[in-house]
Amino acid sequence: MKFLFDFFPLVAFLIAFYYPENREEGIYLGIQVIIIASFIQILAYWLLTRRFEKMHIITFALTVVLGGATLLLHDELFFKWKPTVVNWLFAVILLGSQFIGKKPIIRRMMDHAITVPDQVWVKLNLCWAGFFVISGAANIYVAYNYSTEFWANFKVFGLLGLTFIFAIGQAIYMSRYISEVEEEKE
Condensed to tens digits (0 to 9), the pLDDT of residues 115-125 reads 888 899 999 99
pLDDT tens digits, 96-133: 998 888 889 888 888 888 888 889 999 999 999 999 99
**Separation between Cα atoms, residue 73 and residue 127, nearest integer Å:** 37
CB atoms within 10 A of CB 41: 21
pLDDT range class, residue 66, cuts 50, 70, 90: very high
pLDDT tens digits, 159-170: 999 999 999 999
Helices 82-97 and 118-145: crossing angle, nearest 10°?
160
- The domain segmentation of the chain, as residue ranges, is 1-74, 81-186
The pLDDT score that the predictor gives to residue 32 is 97
Q: Is the pLDDT of residue 61 over 60?
A: yes
